[in-house]
Every structure is written in structure tokens, then in C-alpha cells.
Structure 1
Amino acid sequence: MSVPEQKNHQPTYIDDRFPGPDPYGPLTDLPTFTVTSEDFTDGGRLAEGQLGGHDISPQLSWSGAPEGTETYAMTCYDPDAPTGAGYWHWAVFNIPASVTSLVAGAGDDELVGLPEGAVALRGDSDRRGFYGAEPPAGHGPHRYIYAVHAVPRRLDIPDRSTPTILGFNLNFNASARALLWGWAEN
């Protein structure tokens, strides 16, 4: 595998159109790798299927994680939600290192598209499945940041934990982080 590059660049999701902060700015600076989607481009508008009411998790693929990766964690977060704490749309961890993609719809409410061993946490919608983008009408555009973390071990986090607890653990345990984002507006 290739050696990941350091994250010493301005993230593409920093844009004056969006009111929220850089949620990854204050976290541990980690090497990067590549994450892509067949359903949207980095910085592009999200497809209708990824919007609230449809709630189809996008296809995601990743490559170039560091050697020694044992598991991956994947999250979707809206830092622009008018909450003071953002909004977690999806959080899955302990995805085996042999898995480097998730098909569209893997985050349905039954979670049948997730690989064996993966753990999905309840997001802010109180669902373990993916909750699509649904910014409040008139609030302006919101970013939806998909983060895939490479982790050199399985994480021992209770399945009743919040995505915030997962994020805290990833900050101290992940060896690399890949980001892909899209936006939506109502």
C-alpha cells in the first residue's frame, strides 16, 4: 500500500456559503487516503436519494489506507445544523479492513448491507441506519461530511454509545482519515 500523505492543506469543505465550523480542524492531524462515491462528487450537491425522506446511504469506496489497518469507521456529519453541536447522520465502526467499499443503501434501517462485524450507532435521528440530508427550509446550504477512518485495531465501544463517543475514540486511535463531502439546501 502507498504511504498516506499528511493533511497539511486547506480542506475543500471550508467555504463561506456554510455557517458552521471546521469540525476536523481541532482534531489530531492525520495522514489522508482516498474516499470516493459513485453518487456524488467531492463538494457537489447531494443526489435526491441521499436526501431526507429517501435516506439512501451513498456508495462509498476507499483506498490507500496505511499498512496495519485492521478496521475502518465511517461517519456522516452535518456541521451546519442549527444545534450548536452539529448533527450526526450515520456512524459505523469495526468495518473489517478487507472491506473497502459500501454499496448504495448499505445504511438502510435493517443494516443488511453492512459487513459482518460492523457496528452501527444511533445517530441524532435515533436510527442506526442512514438519515438523509434535511437542512431546515430557509437555513441555507449545509455540508454533509463523510469521513472514513483507518484504525489499527477493533474498537471496543458499546453499541449504545453516541457518534460523539465514536469520534472521541477515533481522534485518539485512528491512523488516517479520508474526507468526502456534499451539500444540500431546502
Structure 2
Amino acid sequence: MSHSFDPYSVLPSVPEFGLHSTDIADGKSLDVAQCSSLFGGPGEDRSPQLSWEGFPADTQSFAVTCFDPDAPTASGFWHWAVYDIPASVHELEAGAGAPGGKYLPVGAKMLANDAGGHSFLGASPPPGHGPHRYIYAVHALDTPELAVPAAASPAWLGIQLFTHAVARATIVPIFETPE
């Protein structure tokens, strides 16, 4: 199965900045640490280390998301959604997406992923469905706080990002569950 749609291509174009990780890389298969055991496969549900630089000087906060546009749904699958990360923070350590957000920077908020957990949920595509892309994005925002209720969905956060993003950085690893 071949997937090519870039969900960010339908949003207004914004400048890019640098995003790096010691755990994930563009086009490379995810390690078991960034996979999930939710559906019975091996996985640790550990969010990857992420660090960023080169964002606009007037950035007031950041959001970090992980989205699988290749999930067998009409709406993709949100694995992680964090927002209100202070502008002074330029890195999330591996495991920052632990349940409840206890390792997130002070002030940052985490929404429930599409499986309902307030944590990072690793990759676990259906066996035989082919490779899935996991779009890890850091969004530089023009506001220190977003008007996103704690019970909102990541899609609602996405609408706020559409309005407030001034720059974006992505890393897109892949993962495929064998048949």
C-alpha cells in the first residue's frame, strides 16, 4: 500500500526550522521504544527525544504533535498532542510523553491521543497494512497560550495551530507491522 498525502500541504505555507532527534529520523523505521504494545505487538510507548532551533525570534510558545495520516480511518490517527510549551523550551527529552505529562515542561498541556490516553502512544499499524508515516511536528506559535479546553480533541488543537502557527518543523519516520 502506497501512501503519499501530506496533511500539512492543505495548510497555509509557513517557514520551516530545524528539528532533530537522537531517536527518530526521516524515512527510517521506528525503534521498538517508539512503538506500542496496545494491539499486542512489542512496544514501549516512549516519546522520542526532540530538539529544535532556527524558529522565528518572536515565537511565543510551541506545540508538538505526532500524526499518522496512513491509519485505516478517514481522519488519520493522532498519537500525541502537546501545547503551551513555553518559548524558552527547545527540547523534549525521550519519555516526555509519559502518562499524565509528568515529564513535560512546566505550563505545557497534553491532550488525549486518539486511543483516549493522556500520553504518547507509539506506532502500531494493522499487520499487513503497509508502511505508515508518523509526522512528528513542532509548531512555533504567535501566542503564549492556546484556547484549547483540556477535553478537546487533537483535531481541535489542529484548528488552533492553523490560526497561530508561524513556522513548523517535521521529522517523518515510518513503521510497518509485518503480517
Shorter-chain TM band: over 0.9
Q: Note if 1:91 corresponds to 2:75.
A: no
Q: Give TM-score scaled by structure 2 length.
A: 0.92
Matches within 5 A, 1:145-160: 145-153=135-143, 154-160=145-151
Q: In structure 2, do the counterparts of structure 1 residues 42 and 108 end up closer, same or farther at CA, with 3 Å as the change threshold? A: same
Q: CA shift at 1:18, angstroms?
A: 3.6
Contact 2:24 2:171 in 1 (8 A): no
Matches within 5 A, 1:48-63: 48-53=32-37, 54-63=44-53
Structure 1 ranges of 4+ moved more than 3 A: none
Task: Name the Cα RMSD after superposition.
Answer: 1.0
Partner of 2:6: 22
Q: CA shift at 1:123, angstroms?
A: 1.1
Q: CA shift at 1:167, angstroms?
A: 0.7
* Partners of 1:111 and 1:161 in 2: CA distance: 16
Q: Deviations over 1:44-99 (max 9, x none)?
A: 11111000121000000011110111100000000000001100000000000111
Q: In structure 2, do the counterparts of structure 1 residues 110 and 169 end up closer, same or farther at CA, with 3 Å as the change threshold? A: closer
* Partners of 1:70 and 1:124 in 2: CA distance: 27
Q: Deviations over 1:88-143 (max 9, x none)?
A: 00000000011100000010113111001101001101011000000000100000
* Partners of 2:69 and 2:130 in 1: CA distance: 13
Q: CA shift at 1:152, angstroms?
A: 1.6
Q: Indicate which of 28, 33, 36 corresponds to 2:20.
A: 36
Q: Give TM-score scaled by structure 1 length.
A: 0.89
Partner of 1:120: 110
Q: Deviations over 1:28-56 (max 9, x none)?
A: 10001011110022221111100012100
Contact 2:111 2:154 in 1 (8 A): yes
Q: CA shift at 1:172, angstroms?
A: 1.3
* Partners of 2:137 and 2:25 in 1: CA distance: 14
Structure 2 unaligned runs (5+)? 38-43
Q: Note if 1:142 corresponds to 2:120.
A: no
Q: Name the structure with the higher helix share.
A: 2
Partner of 2:166: 175
* Partners of 1:38 and 1:175 in 2: CA distance: 25
108-117 vs 79-88, which moves further? 108-117
Q: CA shift at 1:20, angstroms?
A: 5.4
How many aligned residue pairs are there? 170
Q: Deviations over 1:140-178 (max 9, x none)?
A: 000000010001212121111110011111111111011
